[in-house]
Chain A
Amino acid sequence: MSDSYLLPNDRVLRYSFRERLMHWVAGLSYLYLLISGLAFWSPWLFGLSAITGGPTISRILHPWVGLIFTFGVLWMYGVWSKQMRSTPRDKEWWRSVRHYIRNEDGQVPDEERFNAGQKLLFWGFFWCGIVLLLTGLVLWVPNWIPWSLRFLRLIAIILHPIAALLTIGLFMIHVYMGTAVERGAFGSVIRGDVSRKWAARYHRLWYEQILRQSATKE
């Protein structure tokens, strides 16, 4: 975890500038895709396209922003995929997820830099992102798909919304956890740092590792 280290005033750097930047490249592009995509999803939400530039502009920009989002997701994959690997500890975490949900964090196993829920978010977005990219390319230029390859369009038109809905589920939990529930988490992805207490509470193994690293340095 070379991206993390101790800071003055009992703070710990949780996310480096590079990590924060790539998070927001993916996050803001996803927000655009979400709003414009929901407009195309249901007549009841069609009015949302006014936020993203009007219906026609939304249709034109949605695929391009999708490419930016893909870039963000692949960047994250490059930086985080190793840290996101599943460990036996994650299974224990899932077994006690009930306590995590009820804010009984004392009964939740200590976690490394990312807990099992965050790993699910990462891999969910990664694999859904791949599906969204491939089906999105087909939906981008339906008029280029010849009649003989029509099945591609028919597959894309059902897989794209399914994958999108799965990411929306993950996204809602992610935003709720990151802003409302886990106080301090949002600041960590904006300014990069968290308090030592926060680090010890939510990602103790990671925090202890940083302490060891800084001890050996000194």
Chain B
Amino acid sequence: MSRRRRLTDIIEEYMGRLEGIIENYLAEVEKRSLWHPSSEAIEPLANVYVEPREVVITVDIPCADSESARVRFVDENTVEIEANLQRTLDFSSLRVTHRSGRFKKYHIRIDLPVPVDPSRASITCYRNVLEVRAPRK
């Protein structure tokens, strides 16, 4: 009985720690701004899906010139994605008057949870959602 209780305690403690990690991550995500006037860049919304044979990265780049999209693997665990906006955007065009800054491109650097083979990556754009597929190593 006491052994079962200890096991339960361990699981509860583990779950508590896991929830703490998730909550800290979510708080960081909420705190981070997607607008970076100093580099004239907007951070796009992005997703990473780890599948059995490949990693699929999608990036939402509305109002971008999809032909200008550039995908650069820094190493097997890191990818940088950029795309120019169709036109320079500033806060006033979003009817925000108390902030200044203009934006020319999307830029994001993504840490991948597993290593991939960049040489066999493929890139497709569907109505300005960029999809990068890279086989896992």
Partners in one complex: no
